[in-house]
Chain A
Amino acid sequence: MAALSFNRTTKTFSDGNDEIVAVDELDLEIRDGEFLVLVGPSGCGKSTTLRMVAGLESPTGGTIVLGDREIQHLTPQERDIAMVFQSYALYPHMSVRGNMAYGLQKSTDLSDDEIDNRVRTAADTLDIVDLLDRKPGELSGGQQQRVALGRAIVRDPEVFLLDEPLANLDAKLRAQMRTELQQLQDELGTTTIYVTHDQTEAMSMSDRIAILNAGELQQVGTPLECYHQPENVFVAGFIGEPSMNFFDVTVADDRLVGDGFEVSLSEESRESVSGTEELVLGIRPEDVVITESTDEPDAFEASINVVEPYGDENAVHMQFADTTNDSDFVASIEGMRRLKEGETVGVSFPEESIHLFDAESGEALRNRRLEDEAHIENPEAV
């Protein structure tokens, strides 16, 4: 096991005369034994990053260091990595045993007996011993997924690379495999990079998340850091489901003025945004407060368009009542609380839970205040 680091790693593809930058000077360190999730929308460069570690793409600039050696110029078999593909890529003509043994036969000098032992142990860990003599075509999606994992862990590599391994499973199995994968990684303690476009997977599985957009690293941090302390508008909008609501606002003395609402600012907040007048206000759906009346400070009227019940909570899509501003925003409320579509309610955006971003650069100027900072700083202690 070893740490892995990217140092100004760049990958450009040339398409005719156009240069397409897939990964732009990525600086990122993955600690020994860490479970890092690379997340971002499709085309953000996350898969390219993973494939550069695997040796399936070669970087056009910068280095990749595994342990204490640079690996960017090595062939895949010299790197001591194992990868799980989205399609599983099991060899259809080989048995499960053959699939798992193939890598050991090709990249180690182990005797047949030793290989067989290791395959058996790995199969035991994944509970697939009774599938060893079957062909991949005879297995269900979930079983194939396990075999693909088995093929990776049997190699006992320095790093696991997982490319959307759960994308082809149905929702229930996916949730189950998420937990299992995490436990497995915990047991094995192998440094793992996991690529996904699904922010739920990223949040629930990782030690740390690295968020990429358009080839550039946006933020690296624990899931809760990324959720509560996003460094820019992109991260704020990408992490969290339903996503954060954004509004254009301007600063007027001690108040933020948006189209249809106002929020009074505290002294501290005013300082953090001083010098910038055009801002973007962000507020998570669960922080939007819905009241019966508009008596409270900063409250305004909004009409309810759609209520999506999820059982444990309701996502309420609303619109400002009094203005021409027809932008839609979402609030999450408890599942038991009933609101009717078409109803007009009082809404406020509490000052302590808003995020403020520079409208031009998108950078966060002020994030929501947390009562329990320690909880966020060190989530592993929980």
Chain B
Amino acid sequence: MSKPTTSRGESIARMLPALDYSKIGISILVMVFFVFFISPIWTGLVTAFKTTGAVTGTTPFVPPGTEGFTLEKWTTAIDYLSTGLINSFIMTIPSTILCVALGSTAAYGLTLVDWHRRARFAVLVLFMFGIFIPYQAVLVPLSDFWINIFAVDGTMAFLGDLPFFTERHSRLFAVTVTHVVYGIPICMLLFRGYYVALSDELVEAAKIDGASITSIYRDIVLPLSKPMIGVVFIYQFTMIWNEFLFSLTLIGSSNSPAATVTLVLSGLGSDLSGVDFGLRMAGAFVAALPTIIIYVLFAEQFAEGLASDN
């Protein structure tokens, strides 16, 4: 029998991690960032539940008391934004799906299909240009195109005969198509990174199995792209949903029946009597809700896609 060579206190001290200053530093940094990011959201959220009086009467990040609490701002905001929300969905869903579909097929054609190497590179360069075009630079030609060259107001006038739609929705159609066009390059690039990493032997095995270019895409590449589709879908949905400049240029007014939610939001809660901060905050949260829901729905695929991309 051997005796324990250390006392009880010593052995407990040994089990505790040593005081590590870098760990403490990291913890503090994380907390600082947490506060930095969370405080505006928190402040916005509590403001949305305050009456106009409470907004001016209380400190911004302090929750409202019982008399300062109201849900009225939320109901007003939902009421005010509902058409804009519907318009945004009408625009965002088809354009996102088209961006994903076209981006993925373009990336497939530029990576896994074997054709003229130089021509392939030239096309890739064109896509790269597409990514870096500043939106501000194309606003004038863009509106010129949709109003004069392809006069969307005239050609899409039949939209007025459909339920819910009005003639002004032709402009929403123009915004949708514009988003598809400007979204394809970045979607292509995201898919390309994924396809370049995909094993060549897989595609070659399918070729030897007798699959054509289209069936290789449909049977092999597309099912394997699922995680990336999640990533691109979330990314593109958020981009298009939050986009303001194209809507402003092509649809114009927040009073238009075709106005998207971002456009309506810009006019929400400000009139001659001043700014209604509670309403603006509630409106901002309502407008952001769909993107949050999309994140939650696709979170698993998103994480998987990001992990497999690296």
Interface set of A (CB-CB < 8 Å, partner B): 54-56, 75-77, 81-83, 85-87, 89-93, 102-103, 106-107, 151, 155
Contacts and interface: CB of A to CB of B under 8 A. Distances in A.
B199 A102 contact: no
A106 B210 contact: yes
A106 B204 contact: no
A76 B207 contact: yes
B199 A87 contact: yes
Contact of B207 (A55, A86, A90, A93): A55
A152 B204 CA distance: 13
B211 interface: yes
Nearest to A75: B207
B223 A85 contact: no
B16 interface: no
B216 to A, nearest CB: 10
Contacts of B206: 91, 102
B7 to A, nearest CB: 50
- Size band of the interface chain B makes with A: 10 to 19
Given A92-B224, A93-B224, A103 B209 contact: yes
B219 interface: yes
Contacts, number: 57
B270 interface: no
B202 A54 contact: no
Contacts of B215: 106
Given A89-B199, A89-B201, A102 B219 contact: yes
B113 interface: no
Contact of B208 (A76, A86, A91): A76
Interface in B24-66: none
Given A91-B220, A92-B224, A93-B223, A85 B201 contact: yes
A87 B210 contact: no
Contacts of B204: 54, 56, 83, 85, 89
A103 B219 contact: no
A87 B208 contact: no
Contacts of B220: 91
A137 B64 CA distance: 55
Nearest to A163: B201
Contacts of B123: none
B201 A106 contact: no
